[in-house]
């Protein structure tokens, strides 16, 4: 009884607030979510195959924050070699999250822009922000052409 009374003054644990990536691309597209970033959460090193979801990542409540992803078309997420082709995407609108909730971010061409195959390329300025700042490690030594959604090694013919 004394222990229960002593513990009564401790506050309850804070409710779990988390975010999950849902790769909504069909399995036959082979569009793997290679990397993603939203608010204070990085999904680096946690590829999400088409039709799958990431593990929940702990985060904080917020309103209207843009999500960014890197697709690796045709890449095998069990591979130990990095993908040869990458495509950067930016959410068309922001995502909010209330305390204690789990946000599911659907990664698809309706929710994100930047997939040239879907006819919605990013501007080069948007792509440069993503490839040089947000996902700089993923694009080290690479150049990205937003108009064609192509990734080339720096120093290749035509690359900057």
Residue 51: predicted pLDDT: 97
* Ordered strands of the 87-91 beta sheet: 41-42, 31-38, 67-73, 87-91, 112-113
User: If residue 44 lies in a helix (H) or strand (E), which one and from where to where?
Assistant: none
- Please tell me whether the overall predicted TM-score, pTM, comes out greater than 0.85 for this model: yes
The neighbour count for residue 79, using CB atoms within 10 Å, is 11
Residues 36, 107 contacting (CB under 8 angstroms): yes
What would the pLDDT profile of 25-68 be if each residue is shown by its tens digit? 999 999 999 999 999 999 999 999 999 999 999 999 999 999 99
Pairing of strands 150-153, 102-107: unpaired
Nearest-CA neighbor of 100 among 39, 43, 19, 38?
19
pLDDT at 110: 98
User: Which residue carries 């035509």 as its tokens?
Assistant: 158
CB under 8 Å to 76, separation ≥6 — which residues?
none
- pLDDT for residue 114 is more than 60: yes
Q: Are 38 and 134 in contact (CB under 8 A)?
A: no
* Residue-level pLDDT at 149: 97
- pLDDT band with cut points at 50, 70 and 90 for residue 156: low
> What is the pLDDT at residue 159?
45
The secondary structure of residue 55, as a DSSP letter, is P
The whole-chain average pLDDT of the chain stands at 91
Residue 68, strand partner residues: 37, 90
Weakest mean pLDDT among 7-11, 54-58, 81-85: 7-11
The predicted pLDDT at position 16 comes to 92
């Amino acid at each position: 009884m004394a222990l229960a009374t002593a513990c009564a003054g401790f506050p309850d644990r804070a409710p779990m607030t988390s975010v999950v990536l849902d790769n909504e691309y069909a399995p036959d597209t082979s569009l793997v979510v290679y990397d993603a970033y939203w608010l204070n959460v990085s999904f680096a090193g946690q590829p999400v195959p088409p039709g799958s979801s990431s593990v929940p990542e702990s985060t904080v409540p917020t309103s209207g924050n843009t999500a960014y992803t890197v697709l690796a078309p045709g890449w095998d997420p069990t591979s130990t070699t990095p993908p040869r082709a990458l495509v950067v995407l930016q959410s068309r609108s922001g995502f909010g999250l209330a305390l204690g909730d789990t946000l599911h971010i659907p990664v698809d061409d309706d929710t994100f822009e930047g997939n040239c195959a879907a006819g919605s390329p990013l501007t080069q300025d948007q792509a440069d922000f993503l490839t040089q700042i947000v996902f700089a490690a993923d694009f080290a030594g690479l150049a990205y052409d937003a108009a064609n959604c192509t990734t080339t090694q720096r120093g290749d013919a035509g690359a900057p």
